[in-house]
Amino acid sequence: MACQLQTENIRKEYPGTVALDNVSVSFDGGKVHALIGKNGAGKSTLVKIFAGAVQPTSGRILVDGQPVVLRSPRDAFAQGIATVYQEMSLVPGLSVAENILLGRLPHKKVLGASVIDWPAVFARARAVLDGMQVSLDVRRQVGDLGMAQQQIVEIAKAMSFNPSVIMFDEPTSALAQHETQTLFGLIRTLAAKGVVIVYITHRLQELPLIADTVTVVRDGRYIGTAAMAQATPQTIVQMMFGEVVQKERPADLKAGTEPVLQVRGLGQKGKFHDVNFTLYRGEVLGIAGMLGSGRTELLRALFGAEAFDAGEIVIGGRSVRTVTPSLMKDLGVAFTPENRKEQALVQILSTRANLCLASLDRISTLGFTTRRRERSVVNRLVARLSVRMPDTEQPVSSLSGGNQQKVVVGKWLNTEPRVILFDEPTRGIDVQAKQQIFQIMWDLSRQGISSLFVSSELEELLEVCHRILIMKKGTLRGEVQPGTLSVDELFVRCMTDE
């Protein structure tokens, strides 16, 4: 018998914000329900409430029409609700069977002592996989499996609780296309058994391949549910974005005609191929594309954080076929990665130290520097970028997300770059901080510094950029001018192969 998962007027308040505003939604068993929304829409909060990780401020959750209280993930499991997260929680050194039954290995008595019943472990794990119609060696070490097989083990772990609801959070983010098809087949098998499938994804191009219905949340509110068979890309985009009011780029912001960065036939096996474009002096050039299109990998390759195996980069008239971060920095290229906390900042160091990291060779003499010299540089950057903080000696981890992002940008400005690569610079920051980041890009443009800007928020690209390149399946498929199309039209261009 198919299950049903519902919410009635679920509200979740945090200090200063409402994450969910009286959301009432229903998911039936036997179907795959896509749950979508742009960043900050509230879908992650809703999933965490279903998973018992977050408690709502008000409202009710119902399973098969009966109200339930989920104070913890254990409560969610007890109600038959399991979640498969994007970041897998497997132990590579243990077997498939041990991972599936982690923390619940069956025991038996031997000479009065309790020991693990290994035959029962393997039999139970095999029974779970058989029920999913999956053939996998339960004795094999998980660390030896590919990503798709590891994802299957993660699902099997959830299935071992015999759930009536499974939520998938971006399950294909690390999978190749053929592996994605395998996962879709497994999800369909689970749905056929009457399980409620809630499928969270940013890859809208997947929706026609896997979803029966699509449910949209926007700004913490439930917008609506549509049958996938009748939903067009335009319908979905309209539900996600509503009527978007775009701010215009300053009229005096003109790109130059001098090429500063040329990319010719660039390729990285399995990530992107035959990428060609030119970035001009003072230009803000955007790259639009869905998750997995190769945008981040391209920026990392341009900076030398990852190697490319075909093509060349020409910067300042110099051809470069083998790049390193050190070389690209010397050539005037800066990079702000999407994961600022782990890849761009040293959280335990002070704001002062972080602002000086990229330019120590410039502010030191014979390898030595002084606090006085550093503070002179730091004070100038703090004023220029309007970084708000009580003291530059406090750990950078104490700053807000927006101010941390300004520090990431600021640490590069003292290197006098000619090009800055921005990968998702507005992720996880508020609206005001986003506008400040955009203003920084425009100020840099006026100084002749070029920006290559990747963002999942397409309305940002339309607001900020001179030109936008469209990237799909690892290659550039077109170029658009921000003033010639709307956000929903750009979204459709990124989703389809037209």
Helix/strand/coil (H/E/C) assignment for every residue in 393-428:
CCEHHHCCHHHHHHHHHHHHHCCCCCEEEEECCCCC
What structural domains does the chain harbor? 4-241 (3.40.50.300), 259-495 (3.40.50.300)
Report the mean per-residue pLDDT for the chain: 86
pLDDT beyond 80 at 453: yes
From the DSSP assignment, how many helices (H) and strands (E) are in the chain? 18, 22
pLDDT beyond 70 at 39: no
> For position 245, what pLDDT does the model report?
52
> For position 486, what pLDDT does the model report?
85
pLDDT beyond 90 at 342: no
Q: Give 416: exposed, middle or buried? Use CB within 10 Å, 0-12, 13-18, 19+.
A: exposed
Contact 56, 12 (CB under 8 A): yes
Average pLDDT over residues 151-160: 87
> For position 476, what pLDDT does the model report?
93
Q: How far apart are CA 445 and CA 417, in angstroms?
A: 12
> For position 378, what pLDDT does the model report?
82
Average pLDDT over residues 69-96: 88
Percent of the chain with pLDDT over 70: 94
**Range with the largest mean pLDDT of 78-92, 338-352, 357-371, 470-484:** 470-484
Q: Which residues pair with 7 in a beta bridge?
A: 25, 61
Contact 295, 289 (CB under 8 A): yes
HSE value, Cβ hemisphere, 13 Å, CA-based, for 301: 25
Average pLDDT over residues 291-313: 89
> For position 354, what pLDDT does the model report?
82
* CA nearest to 425, candidates 452, 404, 439, 405: 405
Token output for 195: 């399980």
pLDDT beyond 90 at 382: no
pLDDT beyond 90 at 205: no
> For position 449, what pLDDT does the model report?
92
- pLDDT category of residue 446 using cuts at 50, 70 and 90: very high
- pLDDT category of residue 497 using cuts at 50, 70 and 90: low
> For position 40, what pLDDT does the model report?
66
Q: Which helix (H) or strand (E) holds 3?
A: none
Contact 160, 128 (CB under 8 A): yes
Q: Which of 159-168, 269-278, 459-468, 482-491 has the lowest mean pLDDT?
A: 482-491
Average pLDDT over residues 359-381: 76
- Model pLDDT for residues 419-441, shown as the tens digit of each residue: 999 998 887 666 667 778 888 89
Average pLDDT over residues 454-462: 86
Percent of the chain with pLDDT over 90: 39
Q: How far apart are CA 180 and CA 186, in angstroms?
A: 10
**Sheet strands side by side (includes 284-288):** 333-336, 419-423, 450-454, 284-288, 467-472, 475-480
Q: How far apart are CA 8 and CA 86, in angstroms?
A: 27
* pTM score, whole prediction: 0.60
- pLDDT category of residue 284 using cuts at 50, 70 and 90: very high
Helix 177-192 vs helix 147-159: crossing angle, to nearest 10: 20
> For position 448, what pLDDT does the model report?
93
Please give the C-alpha separations between residue 162 and each of 7, 67, 257, 480, in angstroms, as whole numbers: 22, 20, 62, 49
Higher confidence at residue 356 or residue 229? 229
Average pLDDT over residues 294-309: 91
Contact 45, 12 (CB under 8 A): yes
Contact 464, 250 (CB under 8 A): no
| Backbone conformation region of residue 270, classed left if phi is above 0, alpha if psi is from -120 to 50, else beta | left
pLDDT beyond 70 at 97: yes
Q: Which of 66-80, 157-171, 358-372, 452-466 has the lowest mean pLDDT?
A: 358-372
pLDDT beyond 60 at 36: yes
